Homo-oligomer: A and B are copies of this chain.
Amino acid sequence: MAVQRRIDLALDSVKRLQRIGATANLLNLLQKQHPADLAQIFSELNDRDREAAFSMLADRNGRLAMEAVSELGPEAGSALLATRPADEIARLAQEIPSDDAAALIDNLPEDLSSSVLDLMRPKESGVVENLLEYPEQTAGRIMNPNVFALSEDMTVGEAIGELQASRDVEMVFYLYVVDARRHLVGVVSLRRLLLVSPETPLKRIMTAELMSARVDTDQEEVARQVASYNLLAIPVVDEENKLVGLITVDDVIDVIKDEATEDIYRLAGVSGDESVNTPAPESLRKRLPWLGINLGTAFLASSVVALFERTIDQVTALAVFMPIVAGMGGNAATQTLTVIVRGIALGELNWTNSRKALAKEAMVGIGNGVVLGVVAALVAWLTRGSPVLGLLLCAAMIINMFVAATAGTLIPLGLRAVNIDPALASSVFITTMTDIFGFASFLGLATLFLKYL
């Protein structure tokens, strides 16, 4: 709360100083902010004020300005950066670690990003271009190539000297040890250096068994490794086990958030790279295919209704109640599906324990069906005066809730088994099934017992 309040106060001051044009005071205020706070302030200003504030700060304190842009995230950050000329972007990009620069440059419009790379110092643009060569969502793409390493032939005293001389190295807490050809051979903690005498050879106190990630490891796998072994950072090596970079826990937190967003989105049929800031035409293009598939399945379900048109023609009340059976099945299926998909994502569910999960969901489904079916039956009976209609509604709801539970469990597990992301395709399958079974069970039963209605 206190943090949010401080940011709100700063935001109010920024707006006020911009309004009255007090440039010197404004610059002074901006320079006092933490990059993360600046990012939040930027995101709450309107486009014009944000660009004005950014360009003013970029002139004076390029590093802070770029750290704030970096905190905005690649999409919003690049959009803000793109408002500046290419030569200025090239200068600014050199102020931040190359992995952060690469993420921003990668999101600039194509022609702008290549001019920026041309205008950067050859050494730095080379590093950025190297990073951009790794496929997206791999360790190589998100690592910081500027990793601090000690030679295995050093003593502890020399190591401390090296550390004291180094500046600008990202979060040093594990010290990686390499051989003459930069192969990763061990790790020493900073704390361990304090516990031994300066003459001790590094080799003697280093731990040779250590976790590392390969440049081509999937970022989700890296995040799982760092999170489950409670690491603060993980070294990244190439195919020859040479140390090429470092991924720190704050990068991992970003990956975990992104992957959670992806899961949430996929369950709803939204593509992972969409956000509230995506322009309308792009959002439309991304969402239409999913809705198109849904339209196809909706017609499939409606063709089931068409099979029973003669029954509906005789008892119109059926048309009033049939959406309830289908809709409640869909809601119950969504609950089951969500628990199962999240269970798979968190590694709690696999084939071994899937039988237990299926039995449980089936029981919950029948239980829900009985309780809600009885309530719905009473409402139908009271409003329509037909106990038979109520009984049919109850029976159809129990059947459909059972279908919802089993489909909601088996479909994601089945997709997982054939290596399709269960979150991606599950919801369209199961709502189609609950619509079809909902309509078929209710209208089918009604057709069988038509003479009692």
Residues of chain A having any CB pair with chain B under 8 Å: 1, 3, 34, 36, 40, 43-44, 46, 71, 76, 160, 163-164, 171-173, 190-191, 193-195, 211, 217, 221, 225, 227-230, 232, 249-250, 252-253, 256-257, 260-261, 263-265, 267-270, 274-277, 279-280, 283-284, 287-288, 290-292, 294-295, 298-299, 301-303, 305-306, 309, 312-313, 316-324, 326-328, 331-332, 334-335, 337-340, 342-343, 346-350, 352-353, 357, 360, 363-364, 367-368, 371-372, 375-376, 379, 431, 435, 439
Inside 8 A of A76's CB, which chain B residues have their CB? 348
In the complex formed, the residue of B with least CB distance to A46 is B352
Inside 8 A of A229's CB, which chain B residues have their CB? 34, 36
Min CB gap A330→B, angstroms: 8
User: What CA separation (Å) do A357 and B275 show in the bound complex?
Assistant: 10
Q: A228-B71, A269-B331 are in contact. Are A1 and B320 (CB under 8 A)?
A: no
Q: A288-B371, A298-B327 are in contact. Are A360 and B256 (CB under 8 A)?
A: no
Is the beta-carbon distance between A268 and B195 smaller than 8 angstroms?
Answer: no
Is the beta-carbon distance between B261 and A249 smaller than 8 angstroms?
Answer: no
Q: Is the interface of A mostly helix, strand, loop or mixed?
A: helix
In the complex formed, the residue of B with least CB distance to A227 is B253
Inside 8 A of A348's CB, which chain B residues have their CB? 43, 76, 275-277
**Count of chain copies:** 2
Is the beta-carbon distance between A342 and B265 smaller than 8 angstroms?
Answer: yes
Is the beta-carbon distance between A171 and B43 smaller than 8 angstroms?
Answer: no
CB contact between A302 and one of B232, B324, B343, B353 (< 8 Å): that residue? B324
User: What CA separation (Å) do A71 and B228 show in the bound complex?
Assistant: 8
User: What CA separation (Å) do A222 and B209 show in the bound complex?
Assistant: 33
User: What CA separation (Å) do A353 and B46 show in the bound complex?
Assistant: 8
Q: A253-B253, A328-B291 are in contact. Are A360 and B225 (CB under 8 A)?
A: no
Is the beta-carbon distance between A327 and B435 smaller than 8 angstroms?
Answer: yes
Is the beta-carbon distance between A302 and B331 smaller than 8 angstroms?
Answer: no
Is the beta-carbon distance between B376 and A295 smaller than 8 angstroms?
Answer: yes
Inside 8 A of A277's CB, which chain B residues have their CB? 348
User: What CA separation (Å) do A408 and B365 show in the bound complex?
Assistant: 28
CB contact between A280 and one of B275, B363, B376 (< 8 Å): that residue? B363
Min CB gap A199→B, angstroms: 17
User: What CA separation (Å) do A264 and B263 show in the bound complex?
Assistant: 8
Is the beta-carbon distance between A40 and B347 smaller than 8 angstroms?
Answer: yes
CB contact between A323 and one of B1, B40, B230, B323 (< 8 Å): that residue? B323
